[in-house]
Every structure is written in structure tokens, then in C-alpha cells.
Amino acid sequence: MRAFLSFLFVCASCSVGAAEIRMTAEQIARLGIATAPLGGMQAPADIRLPGQVIVPPAQIEVIASPLPAMVATVRVAQGETVKKGQVLARLQGTALIEAQREFAQARAQAELAAEGLRRDESLFADGIISQGRLSVTRSTERQAQLLLAEKRQALHLAGLSEPRAGGALVSAAEIRAPFDGVVLDAPAQPGQRVDAMTPLFKLGRLSPLWLEIQATPAQAAGLAPGDAVNIPGCPSGGRITVVTPHVDAHDQLLRLRAELPYRVPCVRPNQFVQVDVKPRDAPSSYAWRVPSGALTRHLSRTWIFVAIPEGFQPVAVQVLEETAQSSRVAAPVEPTVSIAVKGIAAIKGAWLGLGAGE
């Protein structure tokens, strides 16, 4: 009787059409209706969803060939951990020699311009040349210094050191890692001829990592930024940071993003994983995993049929997770009651006045 009164209270908030469905025990048996206790169907608050481990875009850097060259050697492969300054590849080509020659020429021109400026400043101080002549000399010296800075930067980008005056030029350059990380991609191959800005390696920092989680709109209805996520088998987890406001046009799924605050050794970039998401506001006492056949749709809502002494009582539920075999639903009902799990069509027919209960 106590359970019956509680369901009357629940259904007082239901929409019109949720009246009791009166059936006798004989009718229930004749229609093949079966019930099961709800107490054995209680589900945990966690929702298991598919996801993929990715490296945040801000932590990825593409290393490209600075000049046209040939890849002489490749020292690392995809998936390897590298340290800052470690040699990744070695390039060879005449463009490397030309870059050193152009730097040497720019350095010589800058030295001549600096010497000319010092001479004209002395002459101007003695009143021998005009202010205009000195201004032209200063402009020439500034342009020479800018050209030298440009050639020096190009030399450093190519992985070359500045040649000494009168020293020999080298025809090879080493590509080094700019930071500690992992090689996410290594398209460079020995013997390959590459143009300037051809990608050679893709490096990434693995702390933190992101989880790109997929969910149906029903599954994501109770999820929000801040909800905890865990990967089964991993000692630590993270939290949801973003719930996209739109579904993907191809698969009609929502994308959720969670951040793992530091590197988790049990997962790797691009790995597909199962993720347990625990909504902060979902009371586990109201979460049930019922057979999918126990649910029915009516008036744009999802319902279960709760057994009462007079027959059945329709109760609206919120679908949190749905599979072919079972569905996880939220419903404010007591675990001491039973719900219909077979013969749902007959109960619905009686509910809608189609004579199924006669």
C-alpha cells in the first residue's frame, strides 16, 4: 500500500494520459504479461561511453624542412620519446651551402657598413660632410644589419651554425627536437627529396591529454562540464571540460571533451577507450538498467509500466543510455516494486483504449 501511494504521488506530476491501467490477474496471465522486481535492476550512476585519447592541438608542433634538401638519415620513428635537442634527422643539399654563403656575404656587408658609418661620423664631427650624407650612411648600415639578422635566422632555422670567417662550409644540417615529447608522426624517409616547409615530423607533449567522448543526445542530457571521468584500469581520471552544443551531421552524436590533468601511463595518443562518466547531479538511487523491451514511447516521452494491485501504472522515465539489450533510465520509483518486462504491447493497447485488456 505504501508503494502504491508513492506511485500516485509520482504520477500526479505526469502528463495527461498516465492514468491507471486496470487489469485483473486473469487478464494479465491470458495476455502473457510478465513482471520483474525493480530492485535487481539498480544501475550505478556512471555512464560508459566510447572515447579516443588525443593530444591537444596547442601541444603539437610540426617540424618542417627549412630548405630544399635530401633526407640523408632519419634517427627516430613514430611513437618514440625524444628529448629537447635530440637529433631527429640529417639533411643534405646545395641550398644549405648557399644559406651559409649568403650569411657570410651579409656579415661582410654589415661590417663594411659599420666601418663606413664610423668613418662618416668622424668626418661629420670635423665638419667635412653634411648631415644628409651621414643620414644616408646610417640608413645603409641599418639595412645591412637587418639583412644580416635575416640570414642569421635562416641559418639557425636550417640547423646550421654560423661559419667562421674564412672557414669551410658544410653541406649537411641536423634537425633537432625543440622540446621533450613524443613523435606522433614521422613521414620523412631516407633518400627523400623535400622542398622548403615540407613536414618531416610531428611532435607532441603528452601532459595533459584530452579525451574526445561520443554520446547520444539522451546520454549527454545529464552531463555537464566538471563531471568526473575515469578510464577502466587506469588509476587516475579527469573531468569534462566541454559539451558541444550541436550534434555531428554524419553520426548524430554529441562530442564531449575531458582533460586528463597529467600523463596517464595506461593510455596512448589516438587510442580508443571506454570511459565511465559520473554526472554530479544524477542520484544513483533513481538509476535503473531495465530490458529495452520494457520501455514504450507515447506523447513524445518514454514510459515503463509499474505493477500495482489494480493492474499497472504508467511512469515517465528519462533514458540515460540505450543499447539493443537494455537501457539505463532515471525514474523516481521505489526499488521494492515490479515493472512489466513482457507483454508491453498489450498493456499499451489497454492504456490507449484499444481493447487489448478486454
Residues 301 and 308 sit within 8 Å (Cβ to Cβ): no
Given a cut of 90, whether residue 325 has pLDDT beyond it is no
pLDDT at 281: 64
17 or 288, which is more confident?
288
The pairing of strands 272-278 and 254-260 is unpaired
CB atoms within 10 A of CB 204: 19
242 or 358, which is more confident?
242
Q: Please name each of the domains of the chain with its CATH number.
A: 2-45+283-351 (2.40.420.20), 48-55+207-278 (2.40.30.170), 58-93+173-205 (2.40.50.100), 97-170 (1.10.287.470)
Residues 316 and 302 sit within 8 Å (Cβ to Cβ): yes
Buried b (16+ CB within 10 A) or exposed e, 57-79: eebbeebebbbbbebbebebeee
Q: What is the pTM of this model?
A: 0.61
* Distance of alpha carbon 353 from alpha carbon 358, whole angstroms: 10
Model confidence band, residue 45 (pLDDT cutoffs 50, 70, 90) = low
Given a cut of 70, whether residue 307 has pLDDT beyond it is yes
Name the DSSP class of 118: H
pLDDT at 1: 34
Q: What angle do CA 311, 317, 322 make, to 5 degrees?
A: 115
Closest CA to 128 of 136, 119, 115: 119
Encode pLDDT of 120-178 as tens digits. 999 989 888 899 999 999 999 999 999 999 999 888 887 788 887 767 788 888 899 99
Given a cut of 60, whether residue 282 has pLDDT beyond it is no
Mean pLDDT computed over 8-36? 73
C-alpha cell at 181: 615529447
Mean pLDDT computed over 109-129? 91
Question: What are 327's strand-pairing partners?
Answer: 290, 322
CB atoms within 10 A of CB 304: 24
Q: 195 vs 42, 64, 92, 122, 348, CA distance in Å?
A: 62, 9, 12, 48, 70
